[in-house]
Amino acid sequence: MPYFEYTKEISLYYEEHGNPEGKETVVFMNGVMASANSWSVLWPAFEKAGFRVIAHDFKGQLRSSKPAGPYTFAQHSEETKALLEYLHVEKAHFVGTSYGGEVAMKFAAMFPEMTASISIIDSVSELDPVCKGFVTSWKVLCDTGDAETFFWGMLPSIYGAEFIENNMEMLSARAAAMKAAPADYLEGQKILYDTFADDVYMTDELPKIQCPALIICAENDILKPPKFSKIIADNIPDSEYITIPGAAHVVFLEKTREVETAIFGFIMKHCGAFI
In the chain, where are the structural domains located?
3-126+200-274
Stretch 76-83: mean pLDDT = 98
Dump the DSSP string for the chain. --EEESSSS-EEEEEEEE-TT-SSEEEEE--TT--GGGGGGTHHHHHHTT-EEEEEPPTTSTTS---SS---HHHHHHHHHHHHHHTT---EEEEEETHHHHHHHHHHHH-GGGEEEEEEES--SS--HHHHHHHHHHHHHHTT--HHHHHHHHHHHHS-HHHHHHTHHHHHHHHHHGGGS-TTHHHHHHHHHHHHHHH---GGGGGG--S-EEEEEETT-SSS-HHHHHHHHHHSSSEEEEEETT--S-HHHHTHHHHHHHHHHHHHHT-GGG-
Query: Residue 186 pLDDT > 90, yes or no?
Result: yes
Per-residue pLDDT tens for 239-259? 999 999 999 999 999 999 999
Per-residue pLDDT tens for 111-157? 999 999 999 999 999 999 999 999 999 999 999 999 999 999 999 99
Query: Residue 275 pLDDT > 80, yes or no?
Result: no
pLDDT at site 23: 87
Model confidence at 1, in pLDDT bands (50, 70, 90)? confident
Percent of the chain's residues with pLDDT above 70: 99
Question: Whole-prediction pTM value?
Answer: 0.97
CATH number of the 3-126+200-274 domain: 3.40.50.1820
Query: Residue 271 pLDDT > 80, yes or no?
Result: yes
Model confidence at 160, in pLDDT bands (50, 70, 90)? very high
Percent of the chain's residues with pLDDT above 90: 96
Stretch 64-77: mean pLDDT = 96
Query: Residue 162 pLDDT > 90, yes or no?
Result: yes
Model confidence at 274, in pLDDT bands (50, 70, 90)? very low
